[in-house]
Copies of this chain bind each other. A is one copy, B any other.
Amino acid sequence: MALLNELIIIDDKAGVSVYLQITNLFIHHIRQGRLRKGLKLPGSRELAGMLGINRMTVVAAYQELEAQGWIEMLPKKGTFIKATLPLLSPKALAGDVADFQLPAQPGFIYDKKRIIPVGSSNLPSAGKLAFNDGFPDVRLAPIEELTRCMRSLSRLSANKKYLLYGDAQGTLLLRRTLANFLCDTRGLSITAENILITNGAQMGIFIAASVIISPGDAVIVGVPGYNMANMTFQQLGAKLIYVPVDEEGIDTNAIEKLCEKKKIRMVYVIPHHHNPTTVTLSPERRMHLLSLATKYRFSVIEDDYDYDFHYSSKPIMPMASYDSQGNVIYIGTLTKTFAPAVRLGFIVAPKEFIQTGTNFRKIVDTQGDSLLENAIAELYKDGTIVRHIKKSVKLYKERRDHFCDCLQKELSDQVSFKVPDGGMSVWTTSLQHDLKVIARKAFDRGLIMKDGTSYDIGRQRFNAVRLGFASLNFKEQLQAVKIIKEVTAM
């Protein structure tokens, strides 16, 4: 039994209660085979003496081990490691059934074309050189702050209540905090009841569109445009009407002409750093669009996915901040602030709309992750998020400038582009070569990039692509641009 002395070593500084340490060490050594099945363990008094601790601590550990099924305490016999260790083993449904492989196709009949094939997102593995679609550098994300905060929230017993079902609209703490933040930074005069928390901007688009669109409804989108949004509306049965996007954003005169002819249910716009072209919708067109929405009573989805990342003087306020009529559904996300994997976005809209959207969210997935929501709220409140935004904006501005310099120096005869005012990518048009060829050859040299075909609508081809610069440092940027230079020189 002297062995136990060596196996069960208590760490006073571990921050874990001693009885749990003992429990976990026993389990560990049982699993490792160092403590064999059927072994008789010392009594609690004896073990307490060996370890120099209070007997009740050993009693608590033994009770825990028994509850978990690792040991058994037999009256008058003592305490033993169980012969059958904890493992679930269910009862068979019928007699022996020969092993089978689940078939690749379902046996039942269903319409395989009901769901639009979104396709793989062409998103590169980390560690590889890649131009993504304009994502932040996840190496900088304050993710440790976030998980530390989640951890400390989880340790507060008062916070156990957040583990129950909560508010499908999002925790009140986060909605209140976000309402203040959006008021301060975007001039939105809203309260917590105007916010629905979502799993990222995509769920915001999906929920808003699900509430608004009935099959057959006409929805106006820009060309070129954001393909995922377009597919979402199509999945919901919308008929898309394409309107050109130029240097000042989507053409509101074209929208006006369409409204005169037919009923428009929704207009989807990305007024800030438009995806894909990065252009900003001009103040005049914003006001024009709002007046059209009021006149023709259509909804405007204002997708403001990276408002916080603006480099040239100040950003233009969102349309939602001037929407006294309640025609704008404003959508935002923390994807660019934290990281794509932190699934948190929001819808801002009139209260009635938020309530309907909340109802729909219950059908989609009941509610969000309240622990995550409250941790994010804390990071807004203690300034972590604002500091991170400040810091990232400064860095990404330098990266934008450096990247545009590289493009200018190395590829000025091959591409045209405009320096974006904000966001994390440069809309780059290939002047001489087919981007499909460039992307394929670049891939062979270790650079992953899109070929731009997802922006094409019908016969309209752009031969242009978003080159995300924010997640590449100077050295990586130069390396990537040089690869494109090599393949275009071939």
- Cβ of A490 within 8 Å of any chain B Cβ, yes or no, is no
* Chain A 276-309 interface 0/1 with B at a Cβ cutoff of 8 Å (1 = within): 0000000100110000011001110000000010
CA distance A105 to B356 in the complex (A): 11
Residue among A94, A106, A154, A168 with the highest chain B CB neighbour number at 10 A:
A106
- Complex interface: chain B residues within 8 A of A33 (CB): none
* Chain A 228-249 interface 0/1 with B at a Cβ cutoff of 8 Å (1 = within): 1001100100000000000000
- Cβ of A89 within 8 Å of any chain B Cβ, yes or no, is yes
Question: A183: shortest Cβ distance to chain B, in Å?
Answer: 11
- Known contacts A143-B154, A151-B148; A359/B325 CB under 8 A: no
Q: Which candidate, A344-352, A404-412, A434-442, A455-463, is the interface stretch facing chain B?
A: A344-352
Chain B residue at minimum C-beta to C-beta distance from A349: B106
CA distance A299 to B314 in the complex (A): 55
- Complex interface: chain B residues within 8 A of A94 (CB): 283, 287, 322
CA distance A298 to B370 in the complex (A): 37
- Cβ of A126 within 8 Å of any chain B Cβ, yes or no, is yes
Q: Which candidate, A47-55, A383-391, A476-484, is the interface stretch facing chain B?
A: A383-391
Chain B residue at minimum C-beta to C-beta distance from A127: B161
CA distance A117 to B362 in the complex (A): 10
Residue among A69, A93, A341 with the highest chain B CB neighbour number at 10 A:
A341
- Cβ of A316 within 8 Å of any chain B Cβ, yes or no, is yes
CA distance A127 to B158 in the complex (A): 9
- Complex interface: chain B residues within 8 A of A342 (CB): 163, 369, 371
Please, how many residues of chain A have a CB less than 8 angstroms from a CB on the other chain? 144
Within 8 A of B (CB), among A343-402: 343, 349-353, 356-357, 359-360, 362-372, 383, 386-387, 389-391, 394-395
CA distance A338 to B262 in the complex (A): 52
Chain B residue at minimum C-beta to C-beta distance from A130: B164
- Cβ of A4 within 8 Å of any chain B Cβ, yes or no, is no
Within 8 A of B (CB), among A192-226: 194, 198-200, 202-203, 206, 210-212, 214
Question: A475: shortest Cβ distance to chain B, in Å?
Answer: 18
- Cβ of A77 within 8 Å of any chain B Cβ, yes or no, is no
Q: Which candidate, A37-45, A95-103, A443-451, is the interface stretch facing chain B?
A: A95-103
List 29 A–B pairs whose Cβ atoms lie within 8 Å, in order of A's numbering. Answer: A67-B394, A92-B187, A93-B317, A100-B189, A102-B189, A102-B323, A102-B351, A104-B326, A105-B326, A105-B352, A106-B353, A110-B211, A115-B359, A118-B359, A125-B161, A126-B160, A126-B161, A127-B161, A138-B164, A147-B150, A147-B154, A162-B341, A164-B340, A166-B341, A200-B365, A202-B363, A232-B363, A342-B371, A369-B369
* 20 further interface pairs, Cβ-Cβ under 8 Å (given A138-B161, A202-B365, A365-B365): A69-B391, A89-B185, A90-B186, A90-B314, A93-B283, A94-B287, A103-B325, A104-B352, A106-B327, A107-B297, A107-B327, A108-B298, A110-B299, A114-B211, A115-B211, A203-B366, A206-B365, A341-B370, A343-B366, A364-B364
